[in-house]
Structure 1
Amino acid sequence: MKGAHFLVAFLLLVLSSSYVFAYDPSSLQDFCVAINGSKDGVFVNGKFCKNPNLTVAEDFFFPGLNVPGNTGNRVGSNVTLVNVDRIPGLNTLGISLARLDFAPYGGLNPPHIHPRGTEILVVVEGTLYVGFVTSNPNRLFTKVLYPGDVFVFPIGLIHFQFNIAKTNAVAFAGLSSQNPGVITIADAIFGPKPPINPDVLAKAFQLDKDMVEKLQKLFENA
């Protein structure tokens, strides 16, 4: 019986430890304003902490999220991410924010993942077709969003947003990490440096090797 109790306790410890280390660690102080140097600093969660006595309001401030982003690019969208690199005071707080701008019909935030954060998105202007794909077996969840609508993209799952209206679209997103990261699927597959062997991609995507090489040339300069 004692052995069974020990096994249960061990499994709970493993599960709880896995949960704790899967996300940004909880803060053990009021704040830990990130600095680049180590002088008079303490290293916490990938950043050195500024001396609290030297902290100022600007460490928690970012201006200009009302300014539209430039959507004149190949995908017709722009993401203005406000993470720990833009607001040092976000360090150890486990949150970040983004503004998403979309060009009229066709503006796309391509399929991508955030390896370290769940995203919650609210549309403030325009109409977006959004969705995410689950892990195996792959299921697609989609929704058309209008101003005021909110949608959640679970951590680590492929998701996208696409403007289906003839006007600009704007959305804001909160993410459950100070630095959620982003991996854009097409860029990661066809545009890494050095490139993935085209034979691998041809087999994986069931494409002609020449087509794979064309895609790699397209994305290498993207």
Structure 2
Amino acid sequence: MAKASIIMFMPLLFLLPFSTLALTQDFCVANLLLSDTPSGYPCKPESLVTSSDFLYSGLAKPGPILNPFNTGLASALVTQYPAVNGLGLSATRFDIYPGGVVPLLTHPGATELLFVLSGTMVAGFVSAARNAVYMKTLHEGDLFVFPKGLLHFQYNPGNTTTTGFSAYSSSNPGLQIVAWALFKNNLPSQIINNVTFISFPEIRRLKALFGGSG
């Protein structure tokens, strides 16, 4: 009977989240001198960890502006904030200037929870199952969630800067911006035209804007 119970229990072990190094210890501050792995970065020796490792001030002010999106981005992912390694969370700050956007993008590895600190922004995502659009105008104090892996966007409809903070369910959520994937590389224009129906003059304009070739 005991043997049968163990056999029945074994498949459940594969459902447990063994993907993080930090589950077997209090924390695992990333050693960024070593290579990343599917389980996260190797741990910095605990004897070298100090209180300063757990402090990060990189979201205290706007980050560099991403052109041509007119949006500042400051990140607290594992590569900037090694203390979040293996903890299943990270964060970013968005400062969207008038006319600015967070372009259509996806985070393959995480759900995103957006908090509006100041101003007004429009945020939305597109579902995979029905291709339905879920979009709202957000104001100071509002929350909006982008489910894992779904295409989403934000933009500033007003004349003043709007600031938001996002938390992610991963220390390294991943990022793919649709415009960059199409126009900031050497993907041949003929293929882009074939798969998107975008005209060649527009493809050339966007490749020039984003620095692509082909």
Q: How would you bin the TM-score normalised by the shorter chain?
A: 0.7 to 0.9
Partners of 2:79 and 2:90 in 1: how far apart? Answer: 10
Secondary structure at the residue paired with 1:48?
Answer: coil
Q: Does 1:196 align with 2:187?
A: yes
Aligned to 1:208: 199
Which residue of the other structure, out of 169, 173, 184, is the alignment partner of 2:177?
184
Which residue of the other structure, out of 183, 199, 208, is the alignment partner of 1:217?
208
Give runs of aligned pairs for residues 6-25 of structure 1, distance below 5 A: 13=11, 17=14, 20=17
Q: Does 1:128 align with 2:121?
A: yes
Structure 1 residue 17, shift from structure 2 partner: 3.7
CA contact under 8 A between 2:58 and 2:74: conserved in structure 1? no
Share of identical aligned residues, percent?
34
CA contact under 8 A between 2:117 and 2:141: conserved in structure 1? yes
Aligned to 1:163: 156
Q: Does 1:175 align with 2:173?
A: no
Secondary structure at the residue paired with 2:24?
Answer: coil
Amino acid at match of 1:36: L
Secondary structure at the residue paired with 1:172?
Answer: strand
Q: CA RMSD in A?
A: 2.7
Secondary structure at the residue paired with 2:174?
Answer: coil
Which residue of the other structure, out of 20, 25, 29, is the alignment partner of 1:29?
25
Structure 1 residue 102, shift from structure 2 partner: 0.9
Partners of 1:200 and 1:72 in 2: how far apart? Answer: 27
Give runs of aligned pairs for residues 91-170 of structure 1, distance below 5 A: 91-104=85-98, 106-170=99-163
Partners of 1:211 and 1:24 in 2: how far apart? Answer: 44
Structure 1 residue 166, shift from structure 2 partner: 1.2
- Kindly provide the CA deviation profile for residues 154-179 of structure 1, in whole angstroms up to 9, marking residues without a partner as x: 01000011111211100111001101
**TM-score, normalisation: structure 1:** 0.82
Aligned to 1:62: 56
Structure 2, unpaired ranges of 5+: 1-7
User: Measured at CA, do residues 161 and 78 of structure 1 come closer, stay the same or move farther in structure 2, by a change above 3 Å?
Assistant: same
Partners of 2:124 and 2:116 in 1: how far apart? Answer: 14
Aligned residues: 205
Which residue of the other structure, out of 40, 44, 55, is the alignment partner of 1:46?
40
**TM-score, normalisation: structure 2:** 0.85
User: Measured at CA, do residues 214 and 64 of structure 1 come closer, stay the same or move farther in structure 2, by a change above 3 Å?
Assistant: closer
Mean alpha-carbon deviation: is it higher for 76-85 or for 212-221?
212-221
Mean alpha-carbon deviation: is it higher for 209-218 or for 150-159?
209-218
Partners of 1:218 and 1:114 in 2: how far apart? Answer: 23
User: Measured at CA, do residues 64 and 84 of structure 1 come closer, stay the same or move farther in structure 2, by a change above 3 Å?
Assistant: closer
Structure 1, unpaired ranges of 5+: 1-8
Partners of 2:64 and 2:30 in 1: how far apart? Answer: 28
- Kindly provide the CA deviation profile for residues 79-112 of structure 1, in whole angstroms up to 9, marking residues without a partner as x: 11101111211111110011110112x1111110
Structure 1 residue 197, shift from structure 2 partner: 2.2
